[in-house]
Structure 1
Amino acid sequence: VKWVVHPFRFRLEDRRKIALDWEHTECRWVNPAEIRDMETVPGLQEAWERVQ
């Protein structure tokens, strides 16, 4: 399986306006330093580092 990650970065004006769709049951804000210790899609940490 090959993953292609298209990273992007943005700033929200109001974090309370997050709306989940049918694919998700929860969300939370994390410190970017925590990404490496989380179970995510392959290459997410590297993608994040490219858009810093």
Structure 2
Amino acid sequence: MLHYAVVFFVIAIIAALFGFGGIAASAAGIAKILFLVFAVLAIASFLFGLIRKG
């Protein structure tokens, strides 16, 4: 999931460089959502791992 967030972030940067503001904003929004989902799942996985060991 983090890979897709980085891919959309790179797409947003490239689109912004070429002047496609709408596409850049959309790609940046998607990248932000994917990163937040990744962060929540990573934290949940870490916490469940601690609970399972304890």
Tell me if TM exceeds 0.5: no
Give the helix-richer structure, 1 or 2: 2
Q: Which has the higher contact order (CA 8 A, sep 6+)?
A: 1
- Pair member with larger Rg: 2
